[in-house]
């Protein structure tokens, strides 16, 4: 079955001066314009194409893939604002329509916004800023400590909301975030906790402790690079520790304690020293 707004693999039925006509199954035939045809294209070939609508609302195929497809979230730029809605650049010659009713705030040209791409009631490809209405609420596929890709979509009193793997929404709590995050940022995170209601708590640090040895090695490398001393200890602010080592203060202190117990370092009021440099 033809998937509008998605990538399809379609067979070439015939080639005319206009381009290649592809087997669109339940939709009959769809044109792949001549300028889009692959080199040496011939009848019987199977081609990867994206299916959308042209300026006259006719189905058309293209070998150019958009930034995102139906069923996906994306960060897109506003290229026009009109009374009926806005138009977004999604990488195709025909811009993506964002209806006025699907906007959550006033928009301006040049602004980048996060939207969900969907098919409206008439089957047309559209965008929506109402993200939480379009998330998948079934989070059974996740496990605690699982590595996930995140898209930052907003900031609240608790912390940051993020789309997880392009499908779900979770929260990064602000007291556990030690780096600057902006709307539209893509970051790697981990599932910290799966709540009884199915919602997900996230973290930017590996929550299972398996990277403590790696953190210890980073501390030792920093010491070696500065003749065995760095002005950082267990009283250093968490933001500075994250800037230097990319980890939370809690993880840093665990790694520091391990090095201290092994008598590799000495912790002083002004910083830490590597014992074999003394």
What does the alpha-carbon distance between residue 150 and residue 146 come to, in Å, rounded to a whole number? 12
Rounded CA separation 22/43 (Å): 9
**Residue 112 pLDDT:** 96
Under DSSP, is residue 26 helix (H, G, I), strand (E, B) or coil?
A: helix
Pairing mode of beta strands 112-119, 96-99? unpaired
Q: Fold for domain 212-277?
A: Arc Repressor Mutant, subunit A (1.10.10)
Contact 80, 127 (CB under 8 A): no
Q: What is the pLDDT of residue 207?
A: 64
| Sequence-ordered list of residues with C-beta below 8 angstroms from that of 234, at least 6 positions apart, any chain | 253, 256, 267
Please check whether the domain covering 7-62 is classified as CATH 2.40.50.140: yes
The encoded tokens of residue 155 equal: 């900031």
Q: pLDDT by residue (tens digit) across 64-77?
A: 999 999 999 999 99
Residue 144 near residue 192 (C-beta atoms within 8 A):
yes
Element (H, E) at 271: strand 271-274
The pTM of the full predicted model, rounded to 2 decimals, is 0.76
- pLDDT bin (cut points 50, 70, 90) of residue 179 is confident
DSSP state of 36: G
Q: Looking at the DSSP assignment, which residues form a beta bridge with residue 8?
A: 49
Q: Contact 68/99 with Cβ under 8 angstroms?
A: no
Q: Which of 104, 75, 106 is nearest to 96 (CA)?
A: 75
Question: Which tokens go with 109?
Answer: 């040209």
What fold, for 147-203?
OB fold (Dihydrolipoamide Acetyltransferase, E2P) (2.40.50)
Please tell me if the domain spanning 7-62 has the same topology as the one spanning 73-133. Answer: yes
Determine how many CB atoms are found less than 10 A away from the CB of residue 163: 24
Q: What is the domain partition of the chain in residue ranges?
A: 7-62, 73-133, 147-203, 212-277
pLDDT at residue 278 in the model: 63
Report the topology of domain 73-133: OB fold (Dihydrolipoamide Acetyltransferase, E2P) (2.40.50)
Please say if the pLDDT value at position 209 is more than 60. no
């Amino acid at each position: 079955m033809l998937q509008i707004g998605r990538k399809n693999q379609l067979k070439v039925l015939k080639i005319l001066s206009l381009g290649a006509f592809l087997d669109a199954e339940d939709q009959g035939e769809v044109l792949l314009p001549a300028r889009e045809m692959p080199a040496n294209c011939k009848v019987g070939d199977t081609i990867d194409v994206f299916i959308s609508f042209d300026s006259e609302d006719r189905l058309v195929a293209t070998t150019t893939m958009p930034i995102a497809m139906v069923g996906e979230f994306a960060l897109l730029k506003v290229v026009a604002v009109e009374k009926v809605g806005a138009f977004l650049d999604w990488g195709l010659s025909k811009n993506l329509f964002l209806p006025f009713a699907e906007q959550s705030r006033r928009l301006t040209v040049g602004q980048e916004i996060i939207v969900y791409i969907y098919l409206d009631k008439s089957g047309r490809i559209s965008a929506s800023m109402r993200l939480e209405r379009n998330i998948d609420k079934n989070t059974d596929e996740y496990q605690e400590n699982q590595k996930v890709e995140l898209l930052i979509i907003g900031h609240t009193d608790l912390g940051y909301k993020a789309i997880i793997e392009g499908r779900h929404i979770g929260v990064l709590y602000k007291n556990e975030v030690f780096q600057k995050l902006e709307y539209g940022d893509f970051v790697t995170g981990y599932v910290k906790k799966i709540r009884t209601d199915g919602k997900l708590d996230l973290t930017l640090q590996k929550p299972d402790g398996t990277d403590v040895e790696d953190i210890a090695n980073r501390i030792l490398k920093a010491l070696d690079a500065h003749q065995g001393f760095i002005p950082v200890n267990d009283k250093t602010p968490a933001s500075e520790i994250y800037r230097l080592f990319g980890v939370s203060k809690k993880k840093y202190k665990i790694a520091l304690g391990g090095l201290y117990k092994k008598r590799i370092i000495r912790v002083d009021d002004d910083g830490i020293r590597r014992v074999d440099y003394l």
